[in-house]
Structure 1
Amino acid sequence: MTEDTVRKAPVTGRGIRTRQALVAAARVVFERDGYLDARLTDITSEAKCSTGTFYTYFNDKEEIFAAVMEETKNEMLHPGMEHVDGVDDPAAIIEASNRAYLESYRRNANLMRLLEQVANIDPKVRELRHVRAWGFVERNARGIQDLQERGLADPDVDPVLASRALSSMISRFAFAAFVLNDGGDFDELVYTATRLWCNALRIEHNLTKP
């Protein structure tokens, strides 16, 4: 998908509400029927609108699937760090971020399963997954570099490569826990992920085992 093919975002309140209703309906249909079996008519029926209305906001099923995944990315990428506002302890911030990410992954586990499945057969969805993952890598790389500059993390690792490794670890950790249902106690998951992250970057911490 390119900027030339993607529909422009609505600017009116009614348009915004209609588009959001379509995205919400698409999520219901994708989770219920899967990507391959989901039909545009099912999405428009769920959203209580016409097929013509759908094409006002989206070109095809692929584009609305991308919109659904964009919503989950925003939720997981910006996890509400108000819980640690004013805290300057890197370990506490990492712990809060991991907790928020894992909570969001657990809520969106069905969609994350679907994304993995479709990425294996659809090159465009595979690219969507890659772009989505890179957003997390870039965010975490900025955080690692900031900690290095403040003398709080190992200065001898490349922040982007370290972020790629750690971000992949947490992503697969969450996939195993909530998609493959191999997880255990949630607090134990958060503790383990955070301790591994801190140890990898040589960040001092006083994490308490649950």
Structure 2
Amino acid sequence: MADATTVKEPPATARGARTRAALISAARVVFERDGFLNSRLTDITAEADCSTGSFYTYFATKEDVFFAVMERARDDMLHPGVHHQAPDDDPVAVIEASNRAYFEAYQRNARLMMLQEQVATINADFRASRIERSEAFVERNARSIKRMQDAGLVDETLEPVMTARALSGMVARLAYHHLALGVDGDINDLVFTSTKLWANALGLTPRNDPSH
């Protein structure tokens, strides 16, 4: 989001690190409350109980601190996924656990996820960063699909990256629709439906399925 001329050096002291962290936490409160466009730096510094000068010590613009907020949320969104699968794990159970962790993390960050989509439409740098983060999830899932293909569990004619992009996009859109936009939907239902669709698309059967 920020170009090379606006990136600030990380704080050199523990106090500086605390101040920067407080500004990020305050910015999240303000962004979630007021939206990105209506948020003001003075509101962020007031929420953090620090001066405007302190803000500019760590961030050059409102966009920079929004990027930092989203980076922190991204760490929370990096859920356990199918890439952690051991050779003897039930792949459907691993997918289910991954989907559940994703939906729970998305629910914790639902307001930010909505703001992320809005800012991506008006800021080209953030849009590029948004795509990069999305593709990281796709690439991780693609590696898992390839391993399942190598194990003879998944149709080898499926291209792993395109398949991962389709299935990951389905889950992300389901989360956005129900958890960010607030359409009625229980997380258990989201987990069941997304896992079933993943499994059906890949031709997987749960190991505890009597028909397996």
Q: Give TM-score scaled by structure 1 length.
A: 0.88
Gaps of 5+ in 2: none
Quote the offset at 1:184 in angstroms.
Answer: 2.0
Alignment map for 1:1-40 (pairs within 5 Å): 1-40=2-41
Q: Percent identity?
A: 53
Whole-angstrom distance in 2 between the partners of 1:61 and 1:68: 11
The reply on whether 1:94 has 2:95 as its aligned counterpart is yes
Structure 2 match to 1:75: 76
Task: Give the corresponding residue for 1:154.
Answer: 155
C-alpha distance in 1, partners of 2:143/2:158? 13
* Structure 1 match to 2:136: 135
Q: For residue 140 of structure 2, what is the amino acid of its counterpart? A: R
CA contact (8 A) 2:145 2:164 kept: yes
Aligned counterparts of 1:180 and 1:37: Cα–Cα separation in 2: 19
Amino acid at match of 1:203: L
Q: Which amino acid aligns with 1:100?
A: A
Distance across 2 between alignment mates of 1:101 and 1:9: 29
| Structure 1 unaligned regions, length at least 5 | none
Give the match for residue 120 of structure 1.
Answer: 121
Deviations 1:161-181 (A, max 9, x none): 111111111110101111222
Deviation at 1:206, TM superposition (A): 5.0
1:172 aligned to 2:189?
no
Contact between 2:85 and 2:91, CA under 8 Å: does it hold in 1?
no
Q: Distance in 2 between matches of 1:64 and 1:158?
A: 38
- Which whole-Å deviations, capped at 9, do the CAs of 1:67-91 have from their partners, x for residues lacking one? 11111112112x257xx99771111
* SS, match of residue 204 in structure 1: coil
State the distance in 2 between where 1:60 and 1:204 align.
Answer: 50
What SS does the aligned partner of 1:162 have?
A: helix
Measure how far apart 1:15 and its partner are.
Answer: 2.3
Higher relative contact order (CA 8 A, sep 6+): 2
Give the AA of the match of 1:112: M
Where do 1:188-199 residues align within 5 Å?
188-199=189-200
Distance 1:206 1:144 in 2: 18
Which residue number in structure 2 is paired with residue 202 of structure 1? 203
**How much does 1:11 deviate?**
4.4
Q: Deviations over 1:55-104 (max 9, x none)?
A: 22111111111111111112112x257xx997711111111110010011
In 1, distance between residues paired with 2:123 and 2:147? 37
Give the AA of the match of 2:118.
Q
Q: What is the distance in 2 between the residues matched to 1:10 and 1:26?
A: 18
Supply the AA of the counterpart residue of 1:29. V
User: In 1, Cα distance between the equivalents of 2:139 and 2:5?
Assistant: 26
CA RMSD in angstroms, aligned pairs only: 2.1
Structure 1 position 7, deviation (Å): 1.4
Alpha-carbon separation, structure 2, partners of 1:16 and 1:85: 36
Return the alpha-carbon distance in structure 1 between the equivalents of residues 162 and 85 of structure 2. 28
Q: Is the 8 A contact 1:154 1:203 kept in 2?
A: no
User: Which residue identity lines up with residue 73 of structure 1 in the other structure?
Assistant: R
CA distance in 1, matches of 2:184, 2:129: 27
